[in-house]
Structure 1
Protein backbone atom coordinates (compact mmCIF):
# COMPACT_ATOMS: atom_id res chain seq x y z
CA UNK A 1 0.00 0.00 0.00
CA UNK A 2 2.85 2.31 0.84
CA UNK A 3 4.48 1.61 -2.54
CA UNK A 4 1.22 2.31 -4.39
CA UNK A 5 0.88 5.64 -2.59
CA UNK A 6 4.42 6.57 -3.57
CA UNK A 7 3.69 5.74 -7.22
CA UNK A 8 0.52 7.84 -7.08
CA UNK A 9 2.45 10.78 -5.68
CA UNK A 10 5.03 10.44 -8.45
CA UNK A 11 2.31 10.44 -11.11
CA UNK A 12 0.64 13.45 -9.49
CA UNK A 13 3.96 15.32 -9.51
CA UNK A 14 4.54 14.48 -13.18
CA UNK A 15 1.05 15.62 -14.17
CA UNK A 16 1.48 18.78 -12.12
CA UNK A 17 4.73 19.48 -13.96
CA UNK A 18 3.03 18.92 -17.32
CA UNK A 19 0.28 21.38 -16.36
CA UNK A 20 2.19 24.02 -14.44
CA UNK A 21 5.72 24.00 -15.85
CA UNK A 22 5.45 22.52 -19.34
CA UNK A 23 2.04 24.03 -20.20
CA UNK A 24 1.11 20.75 -21.86
CA UNK A 25 -2.50 21.26 -20.73
CA UNK A 26 -4.25 24.62 -20.51
CA UNK A 27 -6.77 25.85 -17.93
CA UNK A 28 -10.13 24.24 -18.63
CA UNK A 29 -8.60 21.62 -20.94
CA UNK A 30 -9.59 17.99 -20.54
CA UNK A 31 -6.84 15.59 -19.47
CA UNK A 32 -6.39 12.15 -21.07
CA UNK A 33 -8.68 9.39 -19.83
CA UNK A 34 -7.64 7.11 -16.97
CA UNK A 35 -6.89 4.37 -19.50
CA UNK A 36 -4.65 6.72 -21.50
CA UNK A 37 -2.81 7.80 -18.33
CA UNK A 38 -2.34 4.15 -17.36
CA UNK A 39 -0.69 3.55 -20.73
CA UNK A 40 1.36 6.77 -20.58
CA UNK A 41 2.85 6.08 -17.14
CA UNK A 42 2.74 2.28 -17.36
CA UNK A 43 1.08 1.92 -13.95
CA UNK A 44 -2.13 0.47 -12.55
CA UNK A 45 -5.49 2.21 -12.83
CA UNK A 46 -5.66 2.44 -9.01
CA UNK A 47 -2.40 4.39 -8.97
CA UNK A 48 -3.74 6.80 -11.60
CA UNK A 49 -6.98 7.27 -9.65
CA UNK A 50 -5.05 8.03 -6.46
CA UNK A 51 -2.88 10.53 -8.34
CA UNK A 52 -5.96 12.29 -9.70
CA UNK A 53 -7.40 12.46 -6.16
CA UNK A 54 -4.19 14.10 -4.96
CA UNK A 55 -4.42 16.74 -7.69
CA UNK A 56 -8.15 17.25 -7.13
CA UNK A 57 -7.74 17.90 -3.40
CA UNK A 58 -5.07 20.47 -4.22
CA UNK A 59 -7.45 22.27 -6.57
CA UNK A 60 -5.28 21.56 -9.60
CA UNK A 61 -7.82 19.46 -11.49
CA UNK A 62 -11.58 19.07 -11.37
CA UNK A 63 -13.21 15.68 -11.83
CA UNK A 64 -16.55 15.87 -13.60
CA UNK A 65 -18.29 12.54 -13.31
CA UNK A 66 -19.42 11.25 -16.66
CA UNK A 67 -17.36 13.89 -18.44
CA UNK A 68 -13.70 13.62 -17.49
CA UNK A 69 -10.81 15.32 -15.70
CA UNK A 70 -10.20 19.01 -16.36
CA UNK A 71 -7.36 21.39 -15.51
CA UNK A 72 -8.33 23.99 -12.98
CA UNK A 73 -6.76 27.42 -12.52
CA UNK A 74 -3.40 26.78 -10.85
CA UNK A 75 -2.09 30.34 -11.10
CA UNK A 76 -2.52 30.83 -7.37
CA UNK A 77 -0.35 27.79 -6.71
CA UNK A 78 3.39 27.96 -6.39
CA UNK A 79 4.06 24.26 -6.09
CA UNK A 80 2.93 21.73 -3.52
CA UNK A 81 4.95 23.28 -0.71
CA UNK A 82 3.23 26.67 -0.66
CA UNK A 83 -0.09 25.56 0.84
CA UNK A 84 0.58 26.48 4.46
CA UNK A 85 1.75 29.98 3.56
CA UNK A 86 -1.32 30.48 1.38
CA UNK A 87 -3.53 29.16 4.19
CA UNK A 88 -2.10 31.63 6.66
CA UNK A 89 -2.81 34.45 4.20
CA UNK A 90 -6.31 33.07 3.71
CA UNK A 91 -7.01 33.26 7.44
CA UNK A 92 -6.24 36.99 7.29
CA UNK A 93 -8.48 37.35 4.25
CA UNK A 94 -11.36 35.68 6.07
CA UNK A 95 -10.88 37.99 9.04
CA UNK A 96 -11.30 40.93 6.67
CA UNK A 97 -14.28 39.41 4.88
CA UNK A 98 -16.05 38.58 8.16
CA UNK A 99 -15.77 42.24 9.19
CA UNK A 100 -16.82 43.54 5.78
CA UNK A 101 -19.28 41.26 3.99
CA UNK A 102 -21.99 40.67 6.62
CA UNK A 103 -22.63 44.41 6.65
CA UNK A 104 -22.77 44.38 2.85
CA UNK A 105 -25.43 41.67 3.03
CA UNK A 106 -27.40 43.76 5.54
CA UNK A 107 -27.27 46.84 3.31
CA UNK A 108 -28.25 44.82 0.25
CA UNK A 109 -31.27 43.48 2.10
CA UNK A 110 -32.34 47.03 2.78
CA UNK A 111 -31.59 48.55 -0.63
CA UNK A 112 -31.79 45.86 -3.33
CA UNK A 113 -34.45 46.20 -5.99
CA UNK A 114 -36.83 43.30 -6.55
CA UNK A 115 -35.01 42.53 -9.79
CA UNK A 116 -31.65 42.40 -8.00
CA UNK A 117 -33.11 40.07 -5.37
CA UNK A 118 -34.32 37.73 -8.10
CA UNK A 119 -30.83 37.72 -9.62
CA UNK A 120 -29.30 36.85 -6.24
CA UNK A 121 -31.78 34.01 -5.69
CA UNK A 122 -31.23 32.67 -9.20
CA UNK A 123 -27.47 32.74 -8.74
CA UNK A 124 -27.76 30.83 -5.44
CA UNK A 125 -29.94 28.22 -7.15
CA UNK A 126 -27.42 27.85 -9.97
CA UNK A 127 -24.65 27.27 -7.40
CA UNK A 128 -26.71 24.47 -5.82
CA UNK A 129 -27.22 22.89 -9.24
CA UNK A 130 -23.50 23.03 -10.03
CA UNK A 131 -22.47 21.63 -6.65
CA UNK A 132 -24.95 18.76 -6.90
CA UNK A 133 -23.66 17.96 -10.39
CA UNK A 134 -20.06 18.06 -9.10
CA UNK A 135 -19.29 20.84 -11.57
CA UNK A 136 -17.04 23.86 -10.86
CA UNK A 137 -19.09 26.58 -9.18
CA UNK A 138 -16.35 29.10 -8.44
CA UNK A 139 -17.34 31.72 -10.99
CA UNK A 140 -20.96 31.59 -9.85
CA UNK A 141 -19.76 31.96 -6.25
CA UNK A 142 -17.88 35.07 -7.36
CA UNK A 143 -20.98 36.37 -9.14
CA UNK A 144 -23.15 35.80 -6.05
CA UNK A 145 -21.01 37.96 -3.78
CA UNK A 146 -20.64 40.56 -6.51
CA UNK A 147 -24.42 40.82 -6.97
CA UNK A 148 -24.88 41.40 -3.25
CA UNK A 149 -22.21 44.10 -3.17
CA UNK A 150 -23.73 45.89 -6.15
CA UNK A 151 -27.19 45.70 -4.56
CA UNK A 152 -25.99 48.00 -1.76
CA UNK A 153 -25.95 50.87 -4.28
CA UNK A 154 -22.94 52.20 -2.41
CA UNK A 155 -20.32 53.50 -4.86
CA UNK A 156 -17.38 52.81 -2.54
CA UNK A 157 -18.44 49.21 -1.91
CA UNK A 158 -18.98 48.69 -5.64
CA UNK A 159 -15.47 50.02 -6.34
CA UNK A 160 -14.10 47.40 -3.94
CA UNK A 161 -15.92 44.52 -5.68
CA UNK A 162 -12.86 43.41 -7.74
CA UNK A 163 -10.81 43.15 -4.54
CA UNK A 164 -13.42 41.00 -2.81
CA UNK A 165 -13.88 38.85 -5.90
CA UNK A 166 -10.14 38.16 -6.01
CA UNK A 167 -10.52 36.60 -2.55
CA UNK A 168 -13.56 34.42 -3.28
CA UNK A 169 -12.13 31.91 -5.74
CA UNK A 170 -8.70 31.72 -4.09
CA UNK A 171 -10.47 31.00 -0.79
CA UNK A 172 -12.32 28.04 -2.24
CA UNK A 173 -9.28 26.65 -4.03
CA UNK A 174 -6.94 26.94 -1.06
CA UNK A 175 -9.55 25.33 1.22
CA UNK A 176 -9.91 22.50 -1.28
CA UNK A 177 -6.14 22.15 -1.49
CA UNK A 178 -6.08 21.55 2.25
CA UNK A 179 -8.66 18.75 1.96
CA UNK A 180 -11.78 20.85 2.43
CA UNK A 181 -13.59 19.98 -0.81
CA UNK A 182 -16.66 18.58 0.94
CA UNK A 183 -16.80 21.41 3.47
CA UNK A 184 -16.53 24.04 0.72
CA UNK A 185 -19.18 22.32 -1.40
CA UNK A 186 -21.66 21.91 1.45
CA UNK A 187 -21.11 25.48 2.54
CA UNK A 188 -21.60 26.72 -1.04
CA UNK A 189 -24.83 24.76 -1.39
CA UNK A 190 -26.37 25.73 1.94
CA UNK A 191 -24.77 29.07 2.79
CA UNK A 192 -25.63 30.92 -0.40
CA UNK A 193 -29.25 29.80 -0.35
CA UNK A 194 -29.62 30.88 3.28
CA UNK A 195 -28.20 34.33 2.53
CA UNK A 196 -30.40 34.70 -0.57
CA UNK A 197 -33.55 33.73 1.33
CA UNK A 198 -32.92 36.26 4.10
CA UNK A 199 -32.27 38.99 1.53
CA UNK A 200 -35.48 38.05 -0.29
CA UNK A 201 -37.36 38.24 3.02
CA UNK A 202 -35.85 41.69 3.71
CA UNK A 203 -34.48 40.30 6.97
CA UNK A 204 -31.40 42.44 7.57
CA UNK A 205 -30.06 40.68 10.65
CA UNK A 206 -30.81 37.28 9.16
CA UNK A 207 -28.77 38.14 6.06
CA UNK A 208 -25.99 39.59 8.24
CA UNK A 209 -25.82 36.45 10.38
CA UNK A 210 -26.08 34.05 7.44
CA UNK A 211 -23.20 35.75 5.66
CA UNK A 212 -21.07 35.73 8.81
CA UNK A 213 -21.74 32.03 9.42
CA UNK A 214 -21.01 31.25 5.76
CA UNK A 215 -17.56 32.85 6.02
CA UNK A 216 -16.79 31.54 9.50
CA UNK A 217 -17.31 27.92 8.42
CA UNK A 218 -14.46 28.12 5.92
CA UNK A 219 -12.26 30.15 8.24
CA UNK A 220 -12.77 27.60 11.03
CA UNK A 221 -11.62 24.80 8.73
CA UNK A 222 -8.49 26.68 7.66
CA UNK A 223 -7.63 27.52 11.27
CA UNK A 224 -8.07 23.91 12.40
CA UNK A 225 -5.95 22.53 9.56
CA UNK A 226 -3.11 24.91 10.44
CA UNK A 227 -3.51 24.83 14.24
CA UNK A 228 -4.12 28.57 14.42
Structure 2
Protein backbone atom coordinates (compact mmCIF):
# COMPACT_ATOMS: atom_id res chain seq x y z
CA UNK A 1 0.00 0.00 0.00
CA UNK A 2 1.18 3.52 -0.81
CA UNK A 3 2.85 5.28 2.13
CA UNK A 4 0.70 8.36 1.53
CA UNK A 5 -2.44 6.23 1.98
CA UNK A 6 -1.06 4.80 5.22
CA UNK A 7 -0.25 8.29 6.47
CA UNK A 8 -3.71 9.59 5.56
CA UNK A 9 -5.36 6.69 7.43
CA UNK A 10 -3.18 7.27 10.48
CA UNK A 11 -3.94 10.99 10.58
CA UNK A 12 -7.66 10.34 10.19
CA UNK A 13 -7.62 7.83 13.05
CA UNK A 14 -5.82 10.36 15.24
CA UNK A 15 -8.44 12.98 14.40
CA UNK A 16 -11.30 10.58 15.18
CA UNK A 17 -9.76 9.48 18.47
CA UNK A 18 -9.76 13.14 19.56
CA UNK A 19 -13.40 13.48 18.45
CA UNK A 20 -14.34 10.39 20.47
CA UNK A 21 -12.46 11.74 23.49
CA UNK A 22 -14.30 15.09 23.23
CA UNK A 23 -17.59 13.17 22.87
CA UNK A 24 -16.81 11.35 26.13
CA UNK A 25 -16.07 14.63 27.92
CA UNK A 26 -18.94 16.66 26.48
CA UNK A 27 -21.83 14.17 26.67
CA UNK A 28 -20.57 13.43 29.39
CA UNK A 29 -20.01 9.67 29.37
CA UNK A 30 -19.51 8.35 32.92
CA UNK A 31 -16.67 6.05 33.90
CA UNK A 32 -17.72 2.46 33.36
CA UNK A 33 -20.23 3.32 30.61
CA UNK A 34 -20.14 1.47 27.30
CA UNK A 35 -19.57 3.42 24.11
CA UNK A 36 -21.79 3.03 21.04
CA UNK A 37 -20.57 0.27 18.72
CA UNK A 38 -18.17 0.78 15.80
CA UNK A 39 -20.97 1.21 13.27
CA UNK A 40 -22.72 3.90 15.36
CA UNK A 41 -19.47 5.78 16.02
CA UNK A 42 -18.60 5.60 12.33
CA UNK A 43 -21.98 7.07 11.44
CA UNK A 44 -21.57 9.80 14.05
CA UNK A 45 -18.12 10.91 12.87
CA UNK A 46 -18.54 10.15 9.18
CA UNK A 47 -15.81 7.50 8.90
CA UNK A 48 -15.53 3.78 8.30
CA UNK A 49 -15.43 1.06 10.96
CA UNK A 50 -11.71 0.43 10.35
CA UNK A 51 -10.92 4.06 11.19
CA UNK A 52 -13.07 3.85 14.34
CA UNK A 53 -11.24 0.66 15.29
CA UNK A 54 -7.85 2.37 14.95
CA UNK A 55 -9.07 5.41 16.90
CA UNK A 56 -10.30 3.14 19.70
CA UNK A 57 -6.90 1.41 19.80
CA UNK A 58 -5.26 4.82 20.28
CA UNK A 59 -7.61 5.64 23.15
CA UNK A 60 -6.95 2.23 24.70
CA UNK A 61 -3.21 2.97 24.59
CA UNK A 62 -3.90 6.31 26.34
CA UNK A 63 -5.80 4.57 29.13
CA UNK A 64 -9.18 6.10 28.21
CA UNK A 65 -10.96 3.04 26.83
CA UNK A 66 -10.97 -0.68 27.51
CA UNK A 67 -12.20 -3.24 24.99
CA UNK A 68 -13.93 -6.21 26.61
CA UNK A 69 -14.25 -9.14 24.24
CA UNK A 70 -17.86 -10.02 23.56
CA UNK A 71 -19.12 -7.09 25.60
CA UNK A 72 -18.04 -3.82 24.03
CA UNK A 73 -15.83 -0.79 24.56
CA UNK A 74 -15.94 0.94 27.95
CA UNK A 75 -14.73 4.26 29.34
CA UNK A 76 -12.24 3.60 32.13
CA UNK A 77 -10.68 7.07 32.54
CA UNK A 78 -11.06 10.65 31.35
CA UNK A 79 -7.42 11.49 32.07
CA UNK A 80 -5.05 10.24 29.33
CA UNK A 81 -1.92 8.55 30.64
CA UNK A 82 0.16 10.96 28.56
CA UNK A 83 -1.32 13.80 30.63
CA UNK A 84 -1.10 11.85 33.90
CA UNK A 85 2.61 11.13 34.49
CA UNK A 86 2.04 10.45 38.21
CA UNK A 87 -0.64 7.83 37.58
CA UNK A 88 -3.22 9.74 39.62
CA UNK A 89 -6.04 8.80 37.25
CA UNK A 90 -5.92 5.22 38.57
CA UNK A 91 -7.16 6.35 41.99
CA UNK A 92 -10.80 5.37 42.44
CA UNK A 93 -12.07 8.19 44.70
CA UNK A 94 -11.98 11.05 42.18
CA UNK A 95 -13.48 13.60 44.56
CA UNK A 96 -10.90 12.94 47.27
CA UNK A 97 -8.17 13.08 44.64
CA UNK A 98 -9.54 16.35 43.25
CA UNK A 99 -9.49 17.87 46.75
CA UNK A 100 -5.90 16.68 47.32
CA UNK A 101 -4.86 18.16 43.99
CA UNK A 102 -6.48 21.53 44.62
CA UNK A 103 -4.81 21.64 48.05
CA UNK A 104 -1.45 21.19 46.34
CA UNK A 105 -2.38 23.79 43.74
CA UNK A 106 -3.17 26.28 46.52
CA UNK A 107 0.38 25.81 47.78
CA UNK A 108 1.99 26.13 44.35
CA UNK A 109 0.01 28.27 41.92
CA UNK A 110 -0.38 31.57 43.84
CA UNK A 111 3.41 31.68 44.20
CA UNK A 112 3.83 30.76 40.54
CA UNK A 113 1.49 33.62 39.55
CA UNK A 114 3.55 35.95 41.76
CA UNK A 115 6.71 34.98 39.87
CA UNK A 116 4.86 35.34 36.56
CA UNK A 117 4.04 38.97 37.37
CA UNK A 118 7.74 39.65 37.81
CA UNK A 119 8.94 37.88 34.67
CA UNK A 120 6.20 37.79 32.01
CA UNK A 121 6.76 39.59 28.72
CA UNK A 122 4.05 41.54 26.92
CA UNK A 123 3.86 38.70 24.42
CA UNK A 124 3.19 36.30 27.30
CA UNK A 125 0.40 38.55 28.57
CA UNK A 126 -1.18 38.76 25.12
CA UNK A 127 -1.21 34.98 24.93
CA UNK A 128 -2.94 34.75 28.32
CA UNK A 129 -5.50 37.34 27.21
CA UNK A 130 -6.19 35.39 24.03
CA UNK A 131 -6.77 32.23 26.09
CA UNK A 132 -9.13 34.18 28.37
CA UNK A 133 -11.10 35.30 25.32
CA UNK A 134 -11.32 31.76 23.92
CA UNK A 135 -12.39 30.34 27.29
CA UNK A 136 -15.07 33.02 27.69
CA UNK A 137 -16.36 32.41 24.17
CA UNK A 138 -16.56 28.65 24.75
CA UNK A 139 -18.28 29.09 28.12
CA UNK A 140 -20.86 31.44 26.56
CA UNK A 141 -21.50 28.88 23.80
CA UNK A 142 -21.55 25.89 26.16
CA UNK A 143 -18.45 24.35 24.56
CA UNK A 144 -15.73 22.33 26.25
CA UNK A 145 -12.88 24.65 27.24
CA UNK A 146 -10.65 22.21 29.09
CA UNK A 147 -7.72 22.46 26.65
CA UNK A 148 -7.64 26.25 26.90
CA UNK A 149 -8.03 26.12 30.69
CA UNK A 150 -5.02 23.83 30.88
CA UNK A 151 -3.13 26.10 28.45
CA UNK A 152 -3.90 29.14 30.63
CA UNK A 153 -2.41 27.60 33.79
CA UNK A 154 0.50 26.18 31.79
CA UNK A 155 1.06 29.68 30.35
CA UNK A 156 1.15 31.28 33.81
CA UNK A 157 3.67 28.64 34.91
CA UNK A 158 5.88 29.33 31.89
CA UNK A 159 5.66 33.08 32.56
CA UNK A 160 7.34 32.45 35.91
CA UNK A 161 10.65 31.94 34.11
CA UNK A 162 11.51 29.23 36.62
CA UNK A 163 12.86 25.98 35.17
CA UNK A 164 11.75 23.92 38.18
CA UNK A 165 8.21 25.27 37.89
CA UNK A 166 8.18 24.15 34.24
CA UNK A 167 8.79 20.59 35.46
CA UNK A 168 5.64 20.87 37.57
CA UNK A 169 3.46 21.69 34.57
CA UNK A 170 2.30 18.05 34.01
CA UNK A 171 1.03 17.96 37.60
CA UNK A 172 -0.81 21.26 37.11
CA UNK A 173 -2.27 20.01 33.81
CA UNK A 174 -3.55 16.83 35.49
CA UNK A 175 -5.08 18.83 38.32
CA UNK A 176 -6.91 21.21 35.98
CA UNK A 177 -8.30 18.34 33.90
CA UNK A 178 -9.37 16.45 37.03
CA UNK A 179 -11.17 19.50 38.43
CA UNK A 180 -13.07 20.27 35.22
CA UNK A 181 -14.08 16.62 34.85
CA UNK A 182 -15.43 16.17 38.39
CA UNK A 183 -17.24 19.51 38.54
CA UNK A 184 -18.65 19.35 34.98
CA UNK A 185 -17.69 22.98 34.39
CA UNK A 186 -19.86 24.54 37.12
CA UNK A 187 -17.60 27.47 38.06
CA UNK A 188 -17.83 29.27 34.75
CA UNK A 189 -18.48 32.83 35.97
CA UNK A 190 -15.80 32.50 38.64
CA UNK A 191 -13.35 31.10 36.08
CA UNK A 192 -13.86 34.08 33.77
CA UNK A 193 -13.49 36.61 36.61
CA UNK A 194 -10.41 35.13 38.25
CA UNK A 195 -8.59 34.37 34.98
CA UNK A 196 -9.03 38.01 34.03
CA UNK A 197 -7.82 39.16 37.45
CA UNK A 198 -4.69 36.97 37.26
CA UNK A 199 -3.91 38.23 33.76
CA UNK A 200 -4.49 41.88 34.71
CA UNK A 201 -2.13 41.61 37.68
CA UNK A 202 0.57 39.90 35.61
CA UNK A 203 0.33 42.64 32.98
CA UNK A 204 0.53 45.33 35.67
CA UNK A 205 3.65 43.69 37.14
CA UNK A 206 1.75 43.35 40.42
CA UNK A 207 3.08 40.20 42.10
CA UNK A 208 0.88 40.47 45.20
CA UNK A 209 -2.18 41.08 43.02
CA UNK A 210 -1.39 38.05 40.85
CA UNK A 211 -0.84 35.91 43.94
CA UNK A 212 -4.11 37.05 45.49
CA UNK A 213 -6.12 36.55 42.28
CA UNK A 214 -4.77 33.02 41.83
CA UNK A 215 -5.51 32.24 45.48
CA UNK A 216 -9.08 33.43 44.91
CA UNK A 217 -9.31 31.16 41.86
CA UNK A 218 -8.05 28.18 43.85
CA UNK A 219 -10.40 28.98 46.74
CA UNK A 220 -13.45 28.92 44.47
CA UNK A 221 -12.26 25.55 43.14
CA UNK A 222 -11.63 24.11 46.59
CA UNK A 223 -14.98 25.27 47.98
CA UNK A 224 -16.82 23.72 45.04
CA UNK A 225 -15.15 20.35 45.54
CA UNK A 226 -15.80 20.41 49.30
CA UNK A 227 -19.47 21.23 48.67
CA UNK A 228 -19.77 18.34 46.20
CA UNK A 229 -18.14 15.92 48.65
CA UNK A 230 -20.50 17.10 51.41
CA UNK A 231 -23.57 16.67 49.20
CA UNK A 232 -22.47 13.18 48.18
CA UNK A 233 -22.16 12.20 51.84
CA UNK A 234 -25.68 13.40 52.68
Q: Does the TM-score normalized on the shorter chain lie above 0.5? A: yes
Corresponding residue for 1:168? Answer: 176
- What's 1:201 paired with? 204
After TM superposition, give the deviation of residue 188 of structure 1 in Å: 2.2
Alpha-carbon shift at residue 74 of structure 1 (Å): 6.8
Name stretches of at least 5 consecutive residues in structure 2 with no aligned partner. Answer: 1-27, 46-74, 80-89
Distance in 2 (CA, whole Å) between partners of 1:215 and 1:25 is: 40
Alignment partner, residue 226 of structure 1: 229
Change (3 A) 1:148 1:92: same
Displacement of 1:25 in angstroms is 6.7
Whether the 8 Å contact between 1:110 and 1:204 is mirrored in structure 2 is: yes
Q: Which residue of 1 aligns with 2:216?
A: 213
RMSD: 3.1
Alignment partners' CA distance in 2, 1:116 and 1:141: 16
Asked if structure 1 preserves the Cα contact closer than 8 Å seen for 2:91 and 2:97, the reply is no
Q: Hey, what does 2:4 align to over in structure 1?
A: none
Q: CA deviation at 1:205?
A: 0.9
Task: Name the residue aligned to 2:77.
Answer: 75
Separation (CA, whole Å) in 2 of partners of 1:19 and 1:186? 32
For structure 1, the 5+ residue unaligned runs are: 1-11, 31-72
CA distance in 2, matches of 1:122, 1:92: 30
2:110 is aligned with 1:111: no
In 1, the alpha carbon distance for the partners of 2:34 and 2:123 equals 45
Q: Is the 8 A contact 1:83 1:174 kept in 2?
A: no
Aligned residues: 163
Which residue of the partner structure matches residue 148 of structure 1? Answer: 156
Write the deviation string for residues 58-88 of structure 1: whole angstroms up to 9, x where unpaired: xxxxxxxxxxxxxxx97238xxxx9982101
TM-score normalised over the length of structure 2: 0.62
Counterpart CA distance in 1 for 2:38 and 2:152 is 31
Q: Report Cα offsets for 1:87-121 as digits up to 9, x if no partner.
A: 01111101000000000000000011111111111
- Regions of 4+ moved over 6 Å: 23-26
Q: Shift of residue 18 of structure 1?
A: 3.5
Counterpart secondary structure, 2:142 = coil
Cα distance in 2, alignment partners of residues 104 and 19 from structure 1: 40
Mapped to 1, the partners of 2:227 and 2:193 lie a distance apart of 21
Deviation at 1:175, TM superposition (A): 1.3
